[in-house]
Amino acid sequence: MISFSVAVDPRYGIGIKGSLPWHIKEELKLFRRNTLFKHIVMGQTTYDNLPGKLKDRYITVVSIDPEYHPEGVEVTHDLIAFLEEHQDDETEYIICGGASIYRQSYPYAKKAYVSFIKKEYEVDTRLEIFDPQDWDIVKEEEYEEFIYRELIRKEDENS
Ligand SMILES: NC(=O)c1ccc[n+]([C@@H]2O[C@H](COP(=O)([O-])OP(=O)(O)OC[C@H]3O[C@@H](n4cnc5c(N)ncnc54)[C@H](OP(=O)(O)O)[C@@H]3O)[C@@H](O)[C@H]2O)c1
């Protein structure tokens, strides 16, 4: 199964200058809780800009560059082939950004872990593809600076 984890501001802003627009400890804790000992997938830009290394997770980094092989992670050079191969697996693969990876993975995702940040931030990257109408809310937790929701993709009415 493909899922994704993302934090968005009220206008679906997700990033600025290669980094997160905000620093919210509770949100980072949630990310850790949701991804610990799981398979996570992220783009080369997001991986290389992580402030520290993510321990205790199985990490796949997406890059077209055949020379790109950072230590301790798997690399896939073809995101779409990866998504096609794993979409029906029992194992969950959590897409963790950034923008280009979310956009390409969005149609494959059946579940989403989304932090809706309450305040609007200065951003240069938005997740405009995200549509709340595509999802049912199955869990909700309110924090001071954001509302966390777990979402399941609505069944396609034509299927
Ligand atoms: N708010 C959130 O929850 C959240 C989470 C994560 C990231 N972000 C933000 O998102 C922004 C980064 O997004 P981004 O779009 O610039 O970068 P990105 O998605 O992290 O990485 C882009 C890179 O992924 C590789 N790639 C993309 N599509 C591919 C494909 N089909 N096959 C193989 N490789 C592929 C390419 O790497 P090569 O150039 O090496 O080929 C591309 O340069 C940052 O501001 C970051 O903070 C926000």
The pLDDT value recorded for residue 158 is 57
Assess if residue 66 is contained within a domain: yes
Q: What pTM did the predictor assign?
A: 0.96
Residue nearest to atom 30 of ligand 1 (CA): 79
Q: Is 159 exposed, middle or buried (0-12, 13-18, 19+ CB in 10 A)?
A: exposed
Assess if residue 158 is contained within a domain: no
100 Cβ closer than 6 Å to some ligand 1 atom: yes
Out of 29, 34, 44, give the residue to mutate to test ligand 1, the one with the largest number of ligand atoms within 8 Å of its CB: 44
The average pLDDT across 105-125 equals: 98
Q: Quote the domain boundaries for residue 93.
A: 2-153
Question: Considering its fold, how many domains does the chain have in total?
Answer: 1
**157 band by pLDDT with thresholds 50, 70 and 90:** low
- CATH number where 116 lies: 3.40.430.10
d(CA 42, ligand 1 centre) in Å: 7
Assess if residue 159 is contained within a domain: no
**118 band by pLDDT with thresholds 50, 70 and 90:** very high
**129 band by pLDDT with thresholds 50, 70 and 90:** very high
The pLDDT value recorded for residue 159 is 54
